[in-house]
Amino acid sequence: MAMKSTFKKPGFGYTEVQASTSSPGKRVVMMYDGILKNLRIAIDKLTDAEPEDFEEIHNALALAERLITELRLALDHKLGGEISQNLEGLYEFWVFYISEANINKDVEKIQSVYEQVSALREAWDEAAKEAIKMGISSNV
């Protein structure tokens, strides 16, 4: 019986260790980075799409949707209150918009979500850095 390697992609182990040892705020930023990476793949491929690119575009958008869903599922509405409710609505909108863009191969919708994710990613990154400066990195 052949052994399967758990390292199918270069850097996978490093990313996994980095995620497990990072503050919660940094992990959120890493999730946003993953979303942005996959949206960028879809945008770049759709710009000059060939029929053979459609599977890669679909897979990138599907992964972005899964990452957004993970963020949504991690929300704590008791602790986060109105902010977490607003984030949930935004995450649901992003998934809906990405799904529509995937069906219609609409690069403008993907670009719109990309810009929103990018702005929120920057806000989370700043919050995580501030938390570290204040010594509360384990809570953000």
Within a domain: residue 4?
no
Within a domain: residue 87?
yes
Q: Give one word for 11, left, alpha or beta, with left for phi > 0 and alpha for psi -120 to 50.
A: left
- Inform me whether the pLDDT recorded for 24 exceeds 90: no
Within a domain: residue 80?
yes
Sign, CA dihedral 16-38-67-76, equals positive
Within a domain: residue 69?
yes
Mean of the per-residue pLDDT values for the chain?
Answer: 86
Structure confidence by residue, pLDDT tens digits, 41-59:
999 999 988 889 999 999 9
DSSP string, 115-129: HHHHHHHHHHHHHHH
Q: What is the CATH number of the domain that holds 40?
A: 1.20.120.340
DSSP state of 8: -
Which residues are CB-contacts of 88 (< 8 A; sequence separation ≥ 6)? 72, 75, 77
Q: Are 85 and 77 in contact (CB under 8 A)?
A: yes
Q: What is the pLDDT of residue 86?
A: 96
Q: How many domains does the chain have?
A: 1
Within a domain: residue 84?
yes
Which residues are CB-contacts of 31 (< 8 A; sequence separation ≥ 6)? 67, 70, 71
Q: What range defines the domain where residue 29 resides?
A: 24-135
Supply the pTM of this predicted model: 0.80
